[in-house]
Every structure is written in structure tokens, then in C-alpha cells.
Amino acid sequence: MKIKIDRKIIQGGDLVKITFPARISYLPVIQNTATRIASWFGFNDQELSNIELMIEESLVSVITSSFEPGEFGLITFSLNYKPGSLTFSFEDKGLPVSVEMLEKDEISSLGILIIKHLADEFRFINLGKEGKRLEIVKNVPQESIAALLDSTPVTETAPASPDEELHFRLLTPDDAVDLARLTYRAYGYTYAGLAYLPEKLKEQLEFGYMKAVVVFNSTGLMIANLGLFFDKPGAKVADSGMAIVDPRYRGHNLFKRMKQYAIEHGRDTGMFGLYSESVTIHPYTQKGNMSLGAKETGCLIAFIGEHITFKKINEDGLSQRQAVMLYYLKINQEPRRTVFIPEIYREFVTDIYNELGLRRDIFTENDDLPFTGPGVSIVTTSFKPDLNIASIIVEQYGIDIVARIRTTVKEFCMKKVDSIYLELPLGAQETMDYVTEFRKLGFFMGGVIPEFRNGDVLKLQYLNNIYIDPAKIVVASERGKKVLAFILADREKAG
């Protein structure tokens, strides 16, 4: 059963941290702490039993793989909250190990398999001299909003008058249910994301991970939304997405007007820019982005699942996974940055920088640069079940980076994830050195996201036995067609 939790604690994210001797006798203490706190967030008895089992397997794995029998060592258990999920972590400074070693070890291999099966995300992070950390992520249960939406019958009405007075403002937590109703009117139950989840929306807004521009008609009904999503609170670049318009108000130029409102808000608050993924089932959103000055920076050719339907556009759903065009719109002057681009992508990426007017000092493999040598690999992953896509984020390179990426891709493929994205920091010299190896694994160009995570990100993509017919990708501009052609050609060369 959920209980009221101090909002300041939730917003801080850190729920508990316990440092204890590496002895299995402490297992009940950690299990009781983890399951008691998890129960506050509405996990049912079966889910709490699963968490208890994951804690047991994790602790046994850490103790047996990191410490010799009888050796004294310390383990730090922590439980953290981020909107929508809990992260259970075990950190130690014992013997160095890797996920590959644990999976091969007779004692720990079954435990790791169980953890991966029960967790929503599983991460193993090498911290170098600071040790290593095992992380298990469980998504917080969310009450279904189906009953609420079912009470709002959908009636087909004539298009709204173009002369109707409309009101634009930023979304507030109190608007969350109205946004869910709007999403239902536009997409039924087929939309991917958190739009149907009022409580999760409220958290994203209150914690600073999201903002949104919303539009109300003359009767006070919400008829459009444009979301702004931040990688972390205070980030200078937002992902402009979740563009939803009531079918009766399509053709009223609302997307462009909401984007203009967002741009002015971004200018006033010191943001560098907005990036977005525009659907390719129709050209309207792409044209709206271009009319505001946004430029194409890539194309993810299998981003959206076939189940998505657009009322009055494609009532029967999509015939294949759908591509999205990547756009970036510069709002304010960004810092001058040094970037390291693989030679094979130099012309493609340089053209993007020139189109956007970004200040970049560019180096490639052909430039005479001293190699600094690999550090410790730090890699994180994320999975979006609603889209059945996953991302692998390289935060720091290490000598084992290729093996880490290969293993992670294999795991996602075994889970039948359709599309896998690899995000690489262009500010790291190692990016230009390792891209060739990543392309051998089957990754190919996806695009560039400027000023993301305190620098530019090169986004590669991998399709898990997914067929895409390029003829079904609707691209609104000649430049966009060139971007898509380059990406399709790169796909043929990769692997």
C-alpha cells in the first residue's frame, strides 16, 4: 500500500544508503529495507517478492565474486528514486570483475540471469579505483487511467472554427488528467509514452525533467500539447516531443504556434536549443519544424512501433516500424567546442554544424593528435517498453568498451528489442577511434544531437532483424532526403 512520502526526500532522489560488512548474514536487513521502501511506491506482493529475490541474487553475486572467503570488505547498498523508477545499487571495492565474468561463473551465472529477467534495467558500472557498482532498476507501478478515459466518449464532430480564440500557456501538474484525455481523443490507446499516466506526468513536471506548452479552446478544453523533455533538471537543451493535437483542430497551425511559444520560453530561460523527432507517416510536423528554422540532423529509421495510429490519418495503424527525422533548432549562442569525428562521417557531421551555425573545432583520425589512452568504461543503458527501443550511452571509454557494447547488444537482441541506439560523446577523442569497431557490430549512422549532456552526441542505430521499406518514409525536404540516403547507404556498409 502506498503511503505519503516527504516530497523533499523524493525530489532529492536518495532514499537510503547503508554500508555494511560483506557478509551474507546482512541479507535480511537489506531485503527488509528494500522491500519496505518499495512498498511505499505501490509494488504488490508478487513484485515485492521479485525485488526480494533480486536483492538476494545481487548480494550473493557481489560477495562471492568480489571477496575471497573470509576476507573483510565493505559493501554499500543504496536505493534511489527518479520519476517513474527505483534503482537498487550495490557498490564495493573488492576484486575487479565484469558482467562477462559473472555470466560465465558457475555460482553467479544463474543469479545474473534471474536478475536480468526480473529487472526492468540491469547495469554493471566499472568505477576504476573507486570500485564497481551493480544497479537494478524497477519501474514504479502506475495506476491505469483506462477507466477515467473510458468515461469520456469520443464523438466525431466537425472541424473547429479557425477564428476561435485559443489560449497558450505552460502545462501545470493540475493539467495532467486533461492531457491524458487529449491523448485519448487524438490516438485512442495507441500512443507510446507517459501521456496516459497523470501521476508520472506530475512528477516529471515537478522535478524539472519536463515542461510543455498546452493550448485551450474557448470553452477551456485542452486541445493541443507540445512537450519539452530534459535529460536532467537544468539542462540547456530539450527534446521537443509528444506533439498532440485534437483531431478537430488539425490544420490550425497549432504545432508551429506551440513551437514558437517554446522558443520564446527557451530564449528567456537561457536554453541553447531544441531537438525533436518528427514522424514520417506524414510531412506536416517536419514542415512545421523547418518553417521555424530547424535543420535535419539525422533519421532514426525504425523508431516508432507499428501499433501507433493517428486518428483521421492512419486509422489502421502502421505497416512497418516508422522512421523519425531528427531536427535541431538553435535558440541561443552555445559554447565553442572541440569535437572528434570519424573520417567516414566527417562530411556528414560537418555539414550539420555548418547548417546550424555551431562553433566547432573539428578533428578526425587523419589529424596528428596524441592519443590519451583509454580510461575506465562507464556505460549506462535505458529501455522504453512502449516503443520497444533501447539506448546504450557511453559516458567514458575504457579498453573493454567494444566487448561491453557487443555484450549489451546481444542481451537486448535476446529480449527481442527492435531498435538499439548507441550514444557517443563527440567531445571524447576515443569516439573517432572506436566508431569503426561499432560499425562492425552492425551500428550505422543515426544522427547528431548538439549540446546534449554538456556536448554533442553522435547517435548510431542498430536494427534487430527489422525490415524497413524506405519508400514508406515520407521526407518533407530535399535536404532531408539526402540525410536519409546517406543513412541508408551507411546501413548497407555496416556490419
The closest of 399, 438, 391 to 126, measured between CA atoms, is: 399
pLDDT over 90, % of the chain? 46
User: What is the domain range of residue 123?
Assistant: 7-139
- pLDDT value at residue 154: 47
Q: What is the mean pLDDT of residues 102-123?
A: 70
308 has pLDDT over 80: no
Average pLDDT, the chain: 85
156 has pLDDT over 80: no
366 has pLDDT over 70: no
In a domain, 277, yes or no: no
In a domain, 35, yes or no: yes
Q: Are 321 and 303 in contact (CB under 8 A)?
A: yes
User: Are 170 and 255 contained in the same domain?
Assistant: yes
Q: How confident is the model at residue 481 (pLDDT cuts 50, 70, 90)?
A: very high
More confident residue, 213 or 320: 213
Q: In Å, how far are 12, 24, 52, 209 from 56, measured between CA atoms?
A: 27, 9, 6, 32
**Residue 163 burial (CB < 10 Å; 0-12/13-18/19+)?**
exposed
CATH number assigned to the domain comprising residue 430: 3.40.630.30
Per-residue pLDDT of 2-13, as tens digits, reads 555 666 666 667
Per-residue pLDDT of 246-288, as tens digits, reads 989 988 889 889 999 999 999 999 999 999 998 888 888 898 8
Q: What is the mean pLDDT of residues 153-160?
A: 62
Mean pLDDT comparison of 99-108, 152-161, 478-487, highest-scoring range: 478-487
More confident residue, 91 or 190: 91
Given 241, 271, 301, which residue is the final one in a domain?
Answer: 271
182 has pLDDT over 80: yes
- pLDDT value at residue 398: 86
Number of domains making up the chain: 3
Q: Are 55 and 75 in contact (CB under 8 A)?
A: no
DSSP state letter for 159: P
149 has pLDDT over 60: no
Is the torsion defined by CA of 115, 117, 119, 121 positive or negative? positive
pTM exceeds 0.85: no
In a domain, 124, yes or no: yes
Lowest average pLDDT, out of 10-24, 62-76, 213-227, 374-388, goes to 374-388
User: Are 99 and 12 contained in the same domain?
Assistant: yes
155 has pLDDT over 90: no
Q: What is the mean pLDDT of residues 108-124?
A: 75
In a domain, 263, yes or no: yes
In a domain, 250, yes or no: yes
Q: What is the mean pLDDT of residues 203-213?
A: 90
- pLDDT value at residue 461: 97
C-alpha 265/C-alpha 446 separation (Å) is: 29
Given 139, 154, 189, which residue is the final one in a domain?
Answer: 139
Kindly write down the DSSP assignment for every residue of 348-394, as one continuous string: HHHHHHHHHT--EEEE-TTS-------B--EEEEEEETTTTEEEEEE
More confident residue, 221 or 316: 221
In a domain, 308, yes or no: no
In a domain, 2, yes or no: no
Per-residue pLDDT of 130-141, as tens digits, reads 788 889 999 887
CATH number assigned to the domain comprising residue 99: 3.30.565.10
Q: What is the mean pLDDT of residues 175-193?
A: 80
146 has pLDDT over 80: no
- pLDDT value at residue 373: 54
In b/e form, how buried is each residue of 60-77, taking b as 16+ CB within 10 angstroms?
ebbbbbbbeeeeebebeb
Q: How confident is the model at residue 320 (pLDDT cuts 50, 70, 90)?
A: confident
Q: What is the mean pLDDT of residues 429-446?
A: 94
User: Are 345 and 482 contained in the same domain?
Assistant: yes
Q: How confident is the model at residue 27 (pLDDT cuts 50, 70, 90)?
A: very high
User: Rounded to a whole number, what is the distance in angstroms from the first to the last CA of the chain?
Assistant: 49
Q: Are 379 and 394 in contact (CB under 8 A)?
A: yes
Q: What is the mean pLDDT of residues 299-318?
A: 65
Q: How confident is the model at residue 40 (pLDDT cuts 50, 70, 90)?
A: confident
User: Are 360 and 483 contained in the same domain?
Assistant: yes
- pLDDT value at residue 230: 92
Q: In Å, how far are 60, 86, 89, 200 from 48, measured between CA atoms?
A: 18, 12, 16, 20
User: Are 354 and 449 contained in the same domain?
Assistant: yes
